[in-house]
Amino acid sequence: MGFVNFVQFDYFFMLKKFDSSLKEHNFSNPPRFMPISGTYVLEDLKNFMDVAWSIQFDSSWDEVFKLIKKVKGADPVSLGVWKKILARIRYLKENKIIEMLIQLISEDPSYNEVYTTKDLYIVDDFITEVKKQAENTLSALKEKQTEGKIEVLLNQIFGTTQIEKLKFYTEAGSAPFERKEIGRFEYCEPLAYLKKFILDYVKKDVKELSDILLVRGEWASQQLATPMSEAFHQLIENADKIIALDNSLDDSVDLGLKMKTHLPRTERDKESRNIIHSTLNFVNTSAARIILGSVNLFITYGRNLKMVLEDCIKPHPTLIRNWKDIDHFAEGKLKQMCIGVYKEIFSFVSLMQNFHIEVNEDA
């Protein structure tokens, strides 16, 4: 069953380490592989040896490919291409190329891999594999639907899907912890979107509207304006919180330095592993609180803005007594400004609802 194990090896997981933007089954965009530390792929190389070295080079591959074509109705690859792949694998194995790579990366010249082939129970493995494929298909469909919604909303809100990432709280920054199966940065995308939305939209369009409604507007009761005013100012503060949290992960200061110091020790020191795990929980919980808190603030601001809109179309508005004056100040566009901001807030809240965000109360 070496052939089955070789085909089912998770090549994507290994390749993604060289290009964090790489997407599985997407062949339209060429990968942009970057140099990385060999330690990141050390275990992958060992796992690859386990599957590649177990292939029987002298098997009757003509018969195997005939059977595959009969079952599948098509050749996955041509027999000629497969034989070239086999020749390269045999060369790597006979010349101990990967073993020497591992010796170099691990700085262990005595390393000598002992690999074993596993006997598979065909029927059980087949049933398990079919079930796994079905579950993966359903999961992929759901994920693709979500990705589609996210892309539509990103284009609608920002005019692009290429949103600037944070400095340190990123997929690339998360990779070293994922490789050691300690944890990861959970909310890289939504936190980056939130920062951009606050800096690019809240600090400009929403601020302009707030200055007119909350500063120039004469409210019937200041208590009616307070929730809207507080929501706006807390959102501005949340942008600073995002930047501070992100900067704390710089590996020369604070949390980043702590995790950098303990990361090399995690293989042999359980305490170091626990420290990084708890730090990741703290960071993710902090990010989740900022995101969920901001969503609630947007909802508060939007709900009060809707109340203002409903009041302004009345013959005699009662919430803001000088509506005509502030509308004149806004060159007669105040209602359109309110509608525009309300729509943008609604779209952004809809965007955030596509991400599963939860606060770990124990962190």
258-282 pLDDT per residue, tens? 999 999 888 888 899 999 999 999 9
- Rounded to whole angstroms, the Cα distance separating 170 from 287 reads 12
Is residue 203's pLDDT more than 90? yes
Q: Which tokens sit at 196?
A: 């951009």
Percent of the chain with pLDDT over 70: 89
List the Cα angle 325/326/329 in 5-degree steps.
Answer: 95
Q: Residue 199 gets which letter from DSSP?
A: I
- Own/partner contacts of 62-68, CB < 8 Å, gap of 24 or more, are 64/3
The residue written with tokens 């170099």 in the block is 104
CA R_g for the chain: 28
Mean pLDDT value across residues 128-134: 56
For the whole prediction, is pTM greater than 0.95? no
In the chain, beta strands by DSSP E: none
Tell me if 204 sits within 8 A of 266, measured CB to CB.
no
Tell me the backbone φ, ψ of residue 219, rounded to 5 degrees.
Answer: -80, 145
Higher pLDDT, 230 or 142: 230
Read off the amino acid at residue 5: N
Residue 14 to residues 10, 182, 335, 359: CA-CA distances in angstroms? 7, 17, 53, 30
Percent of the chain with pLDDT over 90: 47
Residue 94 to residues 57, 99, 100, 121, 170: CA-CA distances in angstroms? 12, 10, 12, 30, 40
The residue written with tokens 């579950």 in the block is 135
Cβ neighbors of 319 (< 8 A, separation 6 or more) are 219, 220, 224, 307, 308, 311
Residue-wise pLDDT for 209-251, tens only, equals: 999 999 999 999 888 899 999 999 999 999 999 999 999 999 8
- Rounded to whole angstroms, the Cα distance separating 107 from 103 reads 6
Sign of CA dihedral 115, 121, 125, 126: positive
Residue-wise pLDDT for 189-199, tens only, equals: 999 999 999 99
Is residue 58's pLDDT more than 90? no
- Rounded to whole angstroms, the Cα distance separating 278 from 186 reads 14
- Rounded to whole angstroms, the Cα distance separating 196 from 198 reads 6
- Rounded to whole angstroms, the Cα distance separating 279 from 272 reads 11
From the list 8, 6, 3, the residue with the least C-alpha distance to 129 is 8
Cβ neighbors of 72 (< 8 A, separation 6 or more) are none
- Rounded to whole angstroms, the Cα distance separating 20 from 13 reads 10
